[in-house]
Amino acid sequence: MAGHFRLGPWLVQPSLNLAVRNGATNRLTPKAMEVLVCLAQHAGEPVAKEQLLETVWSDTFVGDDVLKRSIVELRRVFEDDVNNPKFIQTITKRGYRLIANVEWKDAIPPGQPKSDNATASGARSRWLWIVGSAATSAALMVALGGVFDVGGLRTWLRAGRVPEIHSLAVLPLRNLSSDPNQEYFSDGLTDGLITDLAQISSLKVISHTSTMQYKDVKKALPEIARELNVDGIVEGTVQRSGDRVRITVQLIHGASDKHLWAHSYEGNMSDVLALERDVTEETSRQIRAQLVTQKQMPLQRPRLVNPKSLDAYLEGIYHLNRYGEGPGEEVLKKAAEYFQQAIDADPTFAPAYIGLADAHGQLIRASSEDVAIERRAAEKAVELDPNYADARINLGFLDWQPGLDWRGAEEQFRRAITLSPNNALAHDQLGILLVAEGRTREGLQESQVAQQLDPKNDHLSLVLYWARDYDASVRVVQRILREDPNNGISHCLLWGVYFKKGSYAEAINELAECYSLYGYSKIGSNLRQAFANSGYQGAMRQFARDVEHLQDTNQAYLPGNLVIAYMLQGNKDRAFYWLEQAYEHREMVGIDGGVYLLGCDPMLDPLRSDPRFKDMLRRVGLPP
């Protein structure tokens, strides 16, 4: 990429894709910047469309519309009027001419071809750039010989003003492909980058479930950094054309909005995982990050991935992440289909097996066969990659539910944390397990770690509820729902909290909302109507009838919900009948608490003095 140059009142920095005027910074997409550079190298001269397309999109066949979009972007940034241009003039049916004055800050004669450094780097590098700290990333520039001073960074370094970065957030990579249906692809690549970064034990990396909430959100980077409580931010773009992928990323110091590093990577779909590991290892050497496993062994190099497998996997993740936000279980079934397609295309692609396990494990009507599929898939993932943290989480959950192997589950969760210290889900699951065992203090500590790693989601309200701190639990959930009102899990929790606080109208409303968001809107409307007619006991009678109908028609199996429904009606015998059913059919979990939360769920407190309850605690492996 060419050196810096002035374009009228603007300072253009191609290496950072920035245009700066009077302290105001505008970011350009990489292709728009390359178009601008090409025009600047021929300032005052007409540049044919064919020449621009050949120069900027040499490895991809694109039409004139792609070039036009770049020109529109340039005019928007430079506040140029197409009818009265001061920067870019359209040469009808021929091309464009840059008419503004160009002053090169670095000695690059007009017409000189751009350097091939970025392309050569992209040939070795995968589509993502991994970073450990601002200081060491900047030091990479100095180590390269101090040839350039991107954005004054070298001067900044020598002045001793490099900020320390101990925490990082990766914002959703923007989709620059002409097809808007490629959003799932850019989202999946964002998730992959976060997963790799999460393995750096010395760096706190925010979970993708928090950062994805900033997709298409127009906020200043310092504001985002404050909200996520991070020092650094990585942002970038994704462009896919056929089998080729181009990713441009940059590291920014959050508080000051200073750009520390930027680069583009290109590669084929088939080698993205291997290229990713190349970048991870190469960058970690440069920045002295410690990407190691528990035994201090370097990460193994992945093999090539089938492009069809990767594409199907990312489609599956897109559908899986929509569950519990309005759509019913059809999204899980669709996700499972995509994950199976990924496995069929490449039986050695471990992430697809975990996706398949998650899709079956979250079904409300999770049959014994679903649980068997979930376990086989998780075990296969571990067989393919023993250091796959997400696979360990799945196995830990299955050891606990339905296996009731409390110690084995804890070991798997702790193993996952060792492999991926920034994995919020691993800390979350360990925290829930510990609280369910009665180890509330330890569990709360793990939940707090999960909350720090995933601040835009809720990892605390459940354990606070179990600890009987209802007011604190409500405050956390309400904060989450203000930003994510369709979060089904949060509504499910609120129904129990409000009931324990004696706010029955609010409790019934939250229970109805919960079931509606999981695809059972009829139950929701019946609950509200029954409460209006005959209070919460009438609502619980209606609720019990509706849930039993779901079971009779093989739509769901929720014995834990029925335990509570009958207990609230004062029918303890019927409540214990369903508690026994929950124990016998504990492979069918879904969103039902079953027998796994007997030791901590406040809703079950009225049953605790009954000898039948103490016997059940013993049978599930919990102290009385």
Q: What is the DSSP letter of 10?
A: E
> How many CB atoms are closer than 10 A to CB 289?
22
Q: Name the domain boundary from 245, 269, 287.
A: 287
Q: H/E/C letters for each residue in 48-98?
A: EHHHHHHHHCCCCCCCHHHHHHHHHHHHHHCCCCCCCCCCEEEECCCEEEE
- Of residues 173, 308, 188, 314, the one with CA closest to residue 242: 308
Quote the CA–CA distance of 343 and 351 in Å, as a whole number. Answer: 9
Number of domains in the chain: 3
The answer to whether residues 26 and 66 belong to one domain is yes
Which residues, including other chains, have CB under 8 Å from residue 160's CB and lie 6 or more apart?
none
Mean pLDDT estimate for the chain: 79
Residue 355 covered by a domain: no
The model's pLDDT over 417-443, given as tens digits with 9 standing for 90+, comes to 998 898 999 999 999 999 999 899 899
* pTM value surpassing 0.95: no
The answer to whether residues 234 and 104 belong to one domain is no
The answer to whether residues 136 and 101 belong to one domain is no
Q: Name the domain boundary from 287, 305, 332.
A: 287
Residue 494 covered by a domain: no
The answer to whether residues 163 and 227 belong to one domain is yes
The answer to whether residues 184 and 222 belong to one domain is yes
Residue 250 covered by a domain: yes
Domain that holds residue 71: 5-115
Quote the CA–CA distance of 162 and 139 in Å, as a whole number. Answer: 10
The model's pLDDT over 12-45, given as tens digits with 9 standing for 90+, comes to 888 777 888 876 778 888 888 889 999 998 888 8
**Cα distances (Å, whole numbers) of residue 89 to 5, 72, 92, 574, 606:** 19, 12, 9, 80, 79
Residue 466 covered by a domain: no
The answer to whether residues 16 and 97 belong to one domain is yes
Q: What are the φ/ψ torsions at residue 104 (nearest 5 degrees)?
A: -75, 130
> How many CB atoms are closer than 10 A to CB 581?
19
List the CATH number of the domain containing 50: 1.10.10.10
The answer to whether residues 225 and 161 belong to one domain is yes
User: Would strands 232-241 and 174-175 be described as parallel, antiparallel, or unpaired?
Assistant: parallel
Q: Is the confidence at residue 138, as pLDDT, over 50?
A: no
| Torsion sign (Cα): 15, 271, 331, 450 | negative
> How many CB atoms are closer than 10 A to CB 486?
14
The model's pLDDT over 65-101, given as tens digits with 9 standing for 90+, comes to 778 888 988 998 898 988 888 999 998 878 899 998 8
Return the pLDDT at 365.
64
Q: Is the confidence at residue 576, as pLDDT, over 80?
A: yes
The answer to whether residues 202 and 162 belong to one domain is yes
The model's pLDDT over 282-329, given as tens digits with 9 standing for 90+, comes to 444 433 333 333 334 444 555 567 888 888 998 898 888 877 665 667
The answer to whether residues 109 and 214 belong to one domain is no
Rg from Cα positions in the chain: 28
Residue 195 covered by a domain: yes
Return the pLDDT at 531.
94
Return the pLDDT at 62.
56
List the CATH number of the domain containing 216: 3.40.50.10610
The model's pLDDT over 486-502, given as tens digits with 9 standing for 90+, comes to 888 889 889 999 999 99
Q: Which secondary-structure segment (H or E) carries 170?
A: strand 167-170
Strand ranges of the sheet holding 46-48, from the earlier edge strand across to the other edge = 46-48, 95-98, 88-91
Tokens of 330: 């059809």
Quote the CA–CA distance of 279 and 261 in Å, as a whole number. Answer: 15
The answer to whether residues 577 and 604 belong to one domain is yes
Residue 106 covered by a domain: yes
Return the pLDDT at 273.
57
Q: How confident is the model at residue 176 (pLDDT cuts 50, 70, 90)?
A: confident
Residue 183 covered by a domain: yes
Return the pLDDT at 159.
38
The answer to whether residues 49 and 98 belong to one domain is yes
Q: Is the confidence at residue 162, as pLDDT, over 90?
A: no
Quote the CA–CA distance of 75 and 82 in Å, as a whole number. Answer: 8
Q: How confident is the model at residue 1 (pLDDT cuts 50, 70, 90)?
A: low
Instruction: Categorise residue 245: left if φ over 0, alpha if ψ from -120 to 50, beta otherwise.
Output: beta
Q: Name the domain boundary from 72, 94, 115.
A: 115
* Strand residues in 171-257 grouped as ranges (E): 174-175, 204-205, 232-241, 244-253
- Of residues 41, 83, 88, the one with CA closest to residue 67: 88
In the chain, what is the straight-line distance between the N-terminal and C-terminal CA atoms, in Å?
69
